[in-house]
Amino acid sequence: MSDTVSLSPGDQSPDFSVTDQEGKVHNLSDYTTQGKQVILYFYPKDSTPGCTTQACDFRDNMARFVTEGYVVLGVSKDSSASHGRFVEKQELNFPLLVDEDLSLHHAFGTWRLKKNYGREYMGCSRSTFVIDSDGALAWCRYNVKAKGHVDMLMRELSLND
């Protein structure tokens, strides 16, 4: 689809104000005002094997991200109830943003044409965006693999000691 957004490092991040699984509002401007860097990662579906692997990798590395001034936010089109169950079952230590209307997916260009076994359909492209405290994209990648993604991200951000 030619109207799908493709963001690159250096681009200004789309602004957002979205609720999480508990109904708490997360505004990008609040984080940037506090000097925080945001890791915003999009994943297809709560409680699926790949998405669980990726979420647990973020969970297990959260101390390092927080120490370096990062906030991690997961995003999918699942409901707040689904997110709540996922957070509780996996003991996730970061918020999951609710994007049932796909507005955040469209703003970041993660709702894309996908192909699976010859079938084409629209769906979430697993993607990650690192937003600097000035609101610019420091790093972004579309179509990432769930397994090993957090380790790769940490290497890219020079967070592996």
Question: Which active-site residues does the annotation give?
Answer: 51
Residue 125 half-sphere exposure, CB side, CA atoms within 13 Å? 22
Query: Which of 58, 48, 46 lies closest to 130, judged by CA?
Result: 58
Instruction: Provide the token pair at 35.
Output: 């000097």
Query: Which of 128, 160, 124 lies closest to 48, judged by CA?
Result: 124
Instruction: Provide the token pair at 101.
Output: 């209307």
